Amino acid sequence: MEFKLGELFCGPGGLALGAMRASARRYGETYSISHAWANDFDSDSCETYRHNISPHSPSSVICRDVQKLDFSSLSPIDALAFGFPCNDFSVVGEKKGMNGVYGPLYEYGVQALKYFRPQWFFAENVGGLRSANDGRAFQIILEELSQAGFIISPHLYRFEEYGVPQARHRIIIIGIRSDIATEFKVPAPMPILGSPRTSREALEEPPIPHDALNNERTKQSPQVVERLKHIKPGENAFTASLPPRLKINTKGANISQIYKRLDPDRPSYTVTGSGGGGTHVYHWIEDRALTNRERARLQTFPDDFVFKGAKESVRKQIGMALPPLGAQVIFESILKCFAGMEYPEVAPNISFRGRVIPGRRTQLKLLEKENAYRESL
């Protein structure tokens, strides 16, 4: 069974790569996801997506403002994915929520759901979405997605618990059309070898090839190099013991990621789309910022995934993307649900106006497992 996937706000293709790699097999039948079409406003992201995801059908990637996208010109789909822009919901920034430019763009995902009536959808945004507009924005989004005719399962995923070498937390909302007798279950964390994958493992096992693309180094100023020499692994410009001449004298800028070195024995901190003011992500021992290819490694992009555009554009694409490995875990869980397969699950950690979204059957199963565990103690 193959689900044809349409995407809005597709970015460079991290979510799509995870979808294409996902599969499930039962009783000789394979469940998979294929690319149908994708849309984004950023031209470099579209070129990256075309090169890596749909090289044989470049016209299937429509580079256009979603507000000018004609749904009737697109082919039918079985599934829809949309990681609507998170600028207005991010923890770092002005946090304008629904009052910002990007906040209301989720509505185009709702419109697409009503128009195409896919069997399921995958919506993604930052954890800060829950607190936007005092929590009202998130409730509105959940209500509209539900009212579009879907049973929804929102959950805050901590991707470092799923094998991603990065502390990246994202709200993923899975919706299955309400007339389909399939219930989504949140996959249990599956850290590699029982512990989170570290930044050292991500960057050094195996080493990045010398001829890898998107691996140009950023030229550091003498002052930045000198500052980094005083910052230990895991420290930043505010926790390190810096001499007065190297301190950051900006009020209200106590952001933990400014000139922060990686801790090689822990997952990376969150890779963002920005890069100015000391937010490039810095090597734990070398006095430099990471290259884009190293940042892509932390995002679980393979080395043969080529990013198009200038270095600054590539950095933004990488930082805004969803880690392909994290997406793959969730997509495979969706496929297993449709295949009727069991897999380790956890209760959702987000409620919808006090009501847990998944159906009564899943809640009873989880309660039975908890009671059995308690009785075994």
**Active-site amino acid positions:** 86
Task: Find the Cα–Cα–Cα–Cα dihedral 164, 167, 168, 170, rounded to 10°.
Answer: 110
* DSSP H/E element including 8: strand 2-8
Bridge-based pairing of strands 23-26 and 2-8 is: unpaired
Q: Which residue has the tokens 């734990």?
A: 284
User: With helix as H, strand as E and coil as C, how does 60-77 read?
Assistant: HEEECCHHHCCHHHCCCC
Q: Which residues pair with 121 in a beta bridge?
A: 80, 175
Dump the DSSP string for 74-142: SPP-SEEEE----TTT-SSS---GGGSSSGGGHHHHHHHHHHH--SEEEEEEEGGGGGGGGGHHHHHHH
CA-only gyration radius of the chain, Å: 21
Percent of residues in the chain assigned helix, strand, coil, to nearest 5: 35, 20, 45
Determine if the peptide bond prior to 206 is cis (ω within 30°): yes
CA distance linking residue 69 with residue 40, whole number of Å:
10
| Short-list 357, 353, 355, CA closest to 136 | 353
Would you say how long the chain is, in residues? 377
Contact 251, 272 (CB under 8 A): no
C-beta neighbour count of 181 within 10 angstroms: 5
Q: How far is CA 119 from the centre of its chain?
A: 22
Q: Which residue has the tokens 């998170």?
A: 86
CA distance linking residue 253 with residue 248, whole number of Å:
8
For 287, the token pair is 């006095």
Tell me which amino acid residue 207 is. P
CA distance linking residue 317 with residue 322, whole number of Å:
10
CA distance linking residue 120 with residue 150, whole number of Å:
8
Is the four-CA dihedral 131, 137, 143, 146 of positive or negative sign? negative
